[in-house]
Amino acid sequence: MGRWANRVVTLNVATPVPRNLRNQTKEQSEATYEALKLIGGMAKKGRVLLYESDEVLLERLNFRPATLSGTEFDTFQGVPHQRARAPLTRTFVIDWRYTPEAARASWHEFLSRIKHPRFLKLLKATGGSHAADLYHLWEAEHNGLEYFITLDRKFVNAVTRPKPLDTPVKICTPEQFVQALS
């Protein structure tokens, strides 16, 4: 609250308003946010070890709109995590020519050039769909991780129904992960 001229003014500076996640209802989105908070809490208590890959960092830079990441409203602020090694390395340069569109095009070109038998097998199992998500799944396999948690329900459905994808990694939403550990 402050004064401006002869008026008392109240200004609400930061009120986080959860948005509905893509292809999710308000209720589904709220359940996802709650599950993410629980996962963050489990990681802070040492009950789970979270991993993040360089590709996820690049996706955040290139594909995602501004978030609450790094703010007091960030569910994963201060949550310890490890770095997952990529099954294939690639170079990414940010210079004066950088644009998110060029970065996305480079990412899709990289994915289309992968000829590794495991990645091709994963891609074939989904009919050629979900290449980016399958790359992350391949990263999880490469690092010997037990779970791959994603917000993309379409991807989860594509690799679990009607026949589950042949992978040692359990693919799930945040809610499914919390339920599996309960």
Q: Cβ distance 133 to 152 under 8 Å?
A: yes
Per-residue pLDDT of the chain (182 residues; tens, 9 = 90+): 455 556 665 555 555 566 777 778 889 888 998 999 999 999 999 999 999 887 777 776 665 544 556 555 577 788 888 989 999 988 777 788 888 888 888 888 999 999 999 999 999 999 888 999 999 999 999 999 999 999 898 999 999 888 889 999 999 999 999 999 98
Look up residue 31 and give its two tokens. 């359940």
pTM listed for this prediction: 0.81
Integer CA distances (angstroms), 167 to 60, 76, 84, 98, 132, in order: 26, 27, 17, 36, 16
Distance CA 132, CA 112 (A): 10
pLDDT at residue 109 in the model: 92
pLDDT of residue 14: 56
What is the reported pLDDT for 68? 55
Q: In this structure, are residues 83 and 53 in contact, taking their beta carbons and an 8 Å threshold?
A: yes
Report the C-alpha gap between 66 and 76 in whole angstroms. Answer: 15
The answer to whether 181 touches 146, Cβ cutoff 8 Å, is no
* pLDDT recorded at residue 72: 54
Structure tokens at 169: 């990694």
If you count DSSP H runs as helices and E runs as strands, how many of each does the chain have, helices first?
7, 6
